[in-house]
Chains A and B, each alone.
Chain A
Amino acid sequence: GEDVEQSLFLSVREGDSSVINCTYTDSSSTYLYWYKQEPGAGLQLLTYIFSNMDMKQDQRLTVLLNKKDKHLSLRIADTQTGDSAIYFCAESIGTNAGKSTFGDGTTLTVKP
Chain B
Amino acid sequence: DTGVSQDPRHKITKRGQNVTFRCDPISEHNRLYWYRQTLGQGPEFLTYFQNEAQLEKSRLLSDRFSAERPKGSFSTLEIQRTEQGDSAMYLCASRPGTGGETQYFGPGTRLLVL
Question: Within the complex, which residue of B98, B103, B107 is in contact with A100, where a contact is CB–CB below 8 Å?
Answer: B103
| Nearest chain A residue, comparing its CB with the CB of B106 | A42
A: number of interface residues (CB 8 Å): 24
Interface residues on B, range: 20 to 34
| B residues whose Cβ falls under 8 Å from a Cβ of A | 31, 33, 40-45, 48, 55-56, 91, 93, 98, 101-108, 110
Question: Within the complex, which residue of B41, B42, B48, B105 is in contact with A99, where a contact is CB–CB below 8 Å?
Answer: B48
**A-B pair number, CB within 8 angstroms:** 52
Minimum CB–CB distance from A37 to chain B (whole Å) comes to 9
| Nearest chain B residue, comparing its CB with the CB of A90 | B42
Minimum CB–CB distance from B106 to chain A (whole Å) comes to 6
Whether B48 contacts A98 by the Cβ 8 Å rule is yes
Whether A104 contacts B91 by the Cβ 8 Å rule is no
